[in-house]
Structure 1
Amino acid sequence: MLYRVVRPVRRSGSRVPYFIQRIPADLKARVVGLKLAIPLAGTIVPLTITEKTPFIRLSLRTTNPSEAKVRQAEIAAYLEAIWRSLRENAPVSLTLKQATALSHDLYLSWAAGEDNERTVSGTIGFDGKWTLDTPPTLEETRAAWVAVVERWEALGASTEPADLEPHVGPLVSRRLLARGIPSVTPETRAILLRVFWEALRDGFASRKRNADGDYSPDPKAARYPKWEEPGRATASPAPKVSLKGLVESWWTEAKAAGRTISTYESYRNTVGRLADFLKHDDAAALTVHDIIAFKDHRLAQGVSPKTVGDSDIAGLRSIFKWAVANRKLTSDPTEGVKVTRAKATRTRSKGFTDAEAKAILKQAAEHVRGRESPKLFAAKRWVPWLCAYTGARVGELVQLRKEDVRQVGGNWVITITPEAGTVKDKEVRQVVLHPHLVDLGFPAFVGGSKPGYLFVAPKAEGDIRGVWQATKNRLAEFARQIVKDPEVAPNHGWRHLFKTVGREAGIEDSVLDGICGHAAGTVGGSYGEVSIAAQVRAFERFPRFNIDE
């Protein structure tokens, strides 16, 4: 009987889940020595099956439950294709078009320069004297690429597949296994060896042109077709897959798995920008060139490399990986796409200075309501002070409700809970109010407020997302009146300052982490909790902000 794990398994003592699947009993004898190329988060994990390998087991390399689920499905689908192919017991035959499509990623990696740190000997079988490490001069760089191209052309002069096998064969096998194809016919193998040699030839030639100062688009880049699974009818076009529809389908599953609406909104906005840029909504028609062009477009707009990489590309990658795992797309067009970013130069701390903090708090205490709503006025009056004494995220405080503020054992406590709105990591926590907040009258303000949200007014259907974001923006603008320095985030600066002041007061980092809602730095630190009593003792040491000094 076959036993297959349907969900990630968590190892004792570790937060990182594992993929574990037993090797099918009917294939055990046949898979010994098989070298798998398991897809995982845009990379390939090599794994060789031995006689002592009862399970396919590897870390999913993430602690995010939703991402782990996507990676689990991707690996399971890959292995299922391997087992199915082995049971069919027939080598796969590929057309020239399919073989050429399979070599596309190899061409891209070398033409784009992603492999320029690797040695030629390690990749294509040359001796150790031939490397692609960047020489110290421009002339030596050019000479190196001229030599590589000449050497590669000489290797390809032979028409015998056996002559190419030592140099290109491992690359062919790896790409086949990445597509779930354990073996091909001898005729197909010969075709693959030749087209992979041609792909490397084109990639090397592109790098040689770059070394000569020519960065014009490579005309040969357009000769590679899209990959089509063996057996698919090539005459009929691939069915269209709506980009925007993919996001909605992903969200239906992700929402049930507990992903936040802010993540959905970020992904939806990114996909919308991509569709507007491409002027079509067909995910099946996307190529890696489209993703690179979109990346370059966003950078040209002045969007920071961090945002493009960590938000745009990362969001698209999550959607496309889910689509591949759920058989909605055959490949991920973001695979291998990266955003180069320079290390940021900082000339000051990320947190407010003591003078800046006091100036913002003084402005909040003396703020006079104009034409703004009572809720926004209350937010400007109290949220900066709450940030200063809790280290909480501004969004967590903006969504506070009257019922989230109460007395526990004689101490005033606020409850930061996902029930009120967005909370990172979706974990509820209680934070003791600093005595200064009590003296300033915050509990009295809460007591005089109507039930429900203290600082935002929900829409008729109860949604607060729009006004929640708008209130955060107004608070940022409020702080910007004091702190003009762009290196300090006007809302997030409080969290940095809270940690700094707390450490200066001798409060343990574990207690500060618990108050702020930061994840523990170790597995041991994740045990237990920072109790109200521990927080009371901490706030006895946390100094007051005296705005009259």
Structure 2
Amino acid sequence: MLFRLVRPLKRSGSSFSYFQQRIPADLKDKVRGKSLALPVGSETVLRKIPPKAETIRFSLKTRDPSETKVRQAEVAAYLEQVWASYRNEAPLSLTQRQAVALSGALYRSWVDEGKERSIAVEEQPDGSFKRADVETPDERKAVWAAISEAWNGNLSEMDPEVLEPKLGPIVDRKLAEKGVGAVDQQSRLFLLSAFAQALSDAFATRSRNAAGDFTPDPKAERFPEWEDPKQPEVRPVRAIAPSSLTALIEGWWQEAKATQRAVSTYESYRNTMARFVDFLGHDDARRVTKADVIAFKDFRLAQVNPRSGKPVSPKTVKDSDLAGLRAVFNWAVVNDRMASNPAEGVTIKLGKQTRTRSKGFTQGEAKALLAHALNHQRGTEQPKTFAAKRWVPWLCAYSGARLGEIVQLRKQDILQEGGIWIMTLTPEAGTIKNKEAREVPLHEHLVSLGFLEFVRSSADGYLFLTPAKDGSTRGAWRGVKNRIAQFSREVVTDPNVAPNHGWRHLFKTIAIEAGIQERVIDAICGHAPKSVGATYGEVTAKAKADGLARFPRFEV
């Protein structure tokens, strides 16, 4: 290492040489007002840098030209480490071994018998120490014993709040001597504890010396050699490439699709991003701020849902809009498309929703809707739309299945196994919430109503929807769901019950009343088991069929 050496100066009226070095321009504001522990021969001289200082200047306390050169080099090396420590702003992490090693310098400075100037001190009310005029060995012994006892008593619990004001400045000076600036919180605790123990050991040694015991202190060997800490690895900052918000959602989906995320999630996030772009009036991801996201949240809460005519619910804004933005922006940060996530921390605290009725259909609503389906006459609508209105409500009523799971049924999903007619709800046909196929036996009432004859007469493929020319079914699936919802609303007009999800709630209510085992009900509905133990063993098609045999008919 090269040090900036300057020639020692001579002060008028003094025969001692003086050290002088300019304070680096980039550090003036950082170091002014700080204290330095300058090595001058066998002493350590404390100097506080004045607020307007341009240089470090002090006496080397020697007239010998050779000694002057040695001291000049030692101080220059020390200051080079100090400057390096202030330039190194990234907190370093020290091991406990390094903390103990650094505290060894403090220990050695206090047990050095040659420094008679500090042989006796008095602790002041403010925690500082002052030289005491002690003459006799007995007095010295008593003083050191008192100092050791007082220090150990004050620091018996090693409380950082007690240690910091007493030892913090010393720790900082010793770190600076090694070229270390800031350290992390755990390292600071290591250092304070190590320095406190080192001082305690040093006081105990001086107390023994004052009593005439100069046997070597075995604790002096516990301090290892200092090893420079590893500098934290600085990752190169990658430039954030220009990216549109629209491109972010598509990039996110390419990765999410590979991990089997649901298409419905992509559609929800895509719609949210489209609304966000329209709200902002631009499509530049780099310009988005947290304030923009908060403003969008407030904007959405004030909007009216065109379908219901009511304000958009806080739950929708929280779980769809904000969750979507947060997920996509987080992906963008991880993939260096954005520097930070502007949606992080933006949320809505939901209160408990007011309920004025059950989430399930009443018996009267269920029978009215089933009669509406049974008596529906085909007009100009497509055959599959007519079939969906005729059979989907009945299939939901006797299975507790989700509307989307029934709408995507195919002819090959209806088959007989072991004498039991079942419908297979499978991800191969489309969207299944938990991505797991399940078999649901057909209720005997469905068979007597002619559902199997309808299936046999249908063409291969989907029973209730027609795929697009490219084979995709998403648009048709959504269209049939919407038409069934509208069809149900013709009868069930209460806005406090979902027109299709009401079947799942009613199915479980009736199944419980019928005495069907809870695990069987969950297996039919596709709900997760309530415990780990419930995952052992299979709920077979026979067990489900036996349970559904107890499920009463809807008489309409």
Q: Determine which of 241, 244, 261 is the counterpart of 2:263.
A: 261
Indicate the residue corresponding to 1:133 in structure 2. Answer: none
**Residue 276 (structure 1) aligned with residue 273 (structure 2):** no
1:380 equivalent among 389, 397, 402: 389
Question: Quick check: 1:355 aligned with 2:364?
Answer: yes
**Cα distance, 1:508 vs. partner?**
1.4
Q: Kindly state the Cα deviation for residue 376 of structure 1 after the two structures are TM-superposed.
A: 0.5
> When the two structures are superposed, what TM-score results if normalisation uses the length of structure 2?
0.57
Mapping for residues 233-252 of structure 1, pairs under 5 Å: 239-252=241-254
Q: Following TM superposition, by how much is the alpha carbon of 1:286 offset from its aligned partner in structure 2, in angstroms?
A: 1.4
Summarize the Cα distance change of 1:188–1:400 in structure 2 as closer, same or farther, 3 Å threshold: closer
5 Å-filtered alignment, 1:139-178, equals: none
- Return the alpha-carbon distance in structure 2 between the equivalents of residues 520 and 482 of structure 1: 34
Equivalent position amino acid for 1:496 in 2: H
Greater RCO (Cα-Cα under 8 Å, separation 6 or more): 1
Mapping of 1:320-359 within 5 angstroms?
320-359=329-368
Matched to 1:260, the amino acid is A
Q: Give the Å deviation of 1:500.
A: 0.3
Distance 2:382 2:501 in 1: 24
1:91 positional shift: 7.5
Please give the alpha-carbon distance, in whole angstroms, between the structure 2 residues aligned to 1:450 and 1:380: 18
| Cα distance between partner residues in 2 of 1:483 and 1:343 | 25
Q: State the Cα deviation string for residues 397-435 of structure 1 (Å, max 9, x = none).
A: 000000000111111100101110111111011110001
**Equivalent residues of 1:239, 1:284 under 8 A apart:** no
Partner of 2:296: 294
- Residue in 2 aligned with 1:410? 419
Paired position in structure 2 for 1:522: 531
Look up the match of 1:543: 552
Structure 1 SS opposite 2:506: helix
Distance 1:440 1:90 in 2: 85
The share of aligned pairs that are identical, in percent, is 58
- How far did residue 344 of structure 1 move? 1.0
Counterparts of 1:119-130 in structure 2, within 5 Å, are: none
Give, in angstroms, the shift of residue 536 of structure 1.
1.2
| Equivalent residue in structure 2 for 1:368, among 377, 383, 400 | 377
Assess, with a 3 A threshold, how the Cα gap between structure 1 residues 184 and 317 changes in structure 2: closer, same or farther: farther
Query: What's the secondary structure of 1:426's corresponding residue?
Result: coil
Query: Shift of residue 185 of structure 1?
Result: 4.9
Q: Contact 1:417–1:423 at 8 Å: present in 2 too?
A: yes
Deviation at 1:498, TM superposition (A): 0.4
Q: How far did residue 335 of structure 1 move?
A: 1.2
Q: 1:91 and 1:364, CA in 2 relative to 1: closer, same or farther beyond 3 A? A: farther
| Cα shift at 1:456 | 0.3
Partner of 1:151: none
Change (3 A) 1:481 1:93: same
Match of 1:531 in 2: 540
Q: Residue 327 and residue 441 in structure 1: after superposition, are their counterparts in 2 closer, same or farther (change >3 A)? A: same
* Pair 1:371–1:232, CA change in 2 (3 A): same
C-alpha contact (below 8 Å) 1:400/1:454 kept by paired residues: yes
Q: Is the 8 A contact 2:241 2:337 kept in 1?
A: no
> How far apart in 1 are the matches of 2:489 and 2:86?
68
Counterparts of 1:466 and 1:90 in 2: how far apart (Å)?
Answer: 63
> What SS does the corresponding residue of 2:358 show, helix, strand or coil?
coil
Structure 1: tracts of 5 or more residues without a match: 1-88, 95-161, 167-182, 190-228
Assess if the C-alpha contact under 8 Å between 1:93 and 1:230 holds in 2. no
Aligned positions of 1:402-481 closer than 5 A: 402-481=411-490
2: CA distance between counterparts of 1:319 and 1:276? 17
Aligned-pair CA distance for 1:243: 1.2
Q: Following the alignment from structure 1 to structure 2, what is the Cα–Cα distance between the partners of residues 374 and 399?
A: 15
Q: CA deviation at 1:327?
A: 2.7
User: Per-residue deviation at 1:241?
Assistant: 2.1
Among 390, 397, 406, the alignment partner of 2:406 is: 397
Bigger CA drift: 287-296 or 274-283? 274-283
Separation in structure 1 between the aligned mates of residue 372 and residue 490 of structure 2, nearest angstrom: 9
Q: Deviations over 1:271-328 (max 9, x none)?
A: 1111111111122221111110000000011211000001000111111222222232
- What residue number does 1:5 align with? none
Bigger radius of gyration, 1 or 2? Answer: 2
Aligned AA (1:281): D
Q: CA deviation at 1:184?
A: 9.8
| Structure 1 residue 187: Cα displacement | 13
Q: Is the 8 A contact 2:396 2:402 kept in 1?
A: yes
- The TM-score with structure 1 as length reference comes to 0.58
Answer yes or no: is 1:502 the counterpart of 2:511: yes
Q: Aligned equivalents of 2:459 and 2:362: distance in 1? A: 35
Report the Cα offset of residue 463 of structure 1.
1.0
CA distance in 2, matches of 1:298, 1:528: 47
Structure 2 residues without counterparts, runs of 5 or longer:
1-84, 91-160, 166-178, 186-232, 304-310
CA-based RMSD? 2.9
Q: CA deviation at 1:525?
A: 2.0
Matched to 2:422, the amino acid is: V
- Partner SS, residue 424 of structure 1: coil
Q: Aligned with 1:315: secondary structure?
A: helix
Q: Provide the residue aligned with 1:43 in structure 2.
A: none
Return the offset for 1:259.
Answer: 0.8
How far does residue 481 in structure 1 lie from its aligned partner after superposition? 1.1
2:520 aligns with 511
Letter in 2 for 1:440: L
| CA distance in structure 1 between the partners assigned to 2:283 and 2:87 by the alignment | 37
1:93: Cα distance to partner?
Answer: 3.9
3-state SS of 1:431 partner: strand
Letter in 1 for 2:529: A
Following superposition, the deviation at residue 518 of structure 1 comes to 1.0
Displacement after TM superposition at 1:238 (Å): 5.5
Q: Secondary structure at the match of 2:439?
A: strand
Whole-angstrom distance in 2 between the partners of 1:300 and 1:444: 50
CA distance in 2: counterparts of 1:483 and 1:353, whole angstroms: 10
Give CA-to-partner distance per residue, 1:170-193, whole Å, 9 cap, x none. xxxxxxxxxxxxx9955999xxxx
Number of aligned positions between the proteins: 335
Q: Distance between the aligned counterparts of 2:280 and 2:315, measured in 1?
A: 22
1:367-420 deviations in whole A, cap 9, x for unaligned? 001111100000000000000000000000000000000111111100101110
Q: For residues 81-120 of structure 1, what are the structure 2 equivalents within 5 Å? A: 93=89
Find the counterpart in structure 1 of residue 319 from structure 2.
310
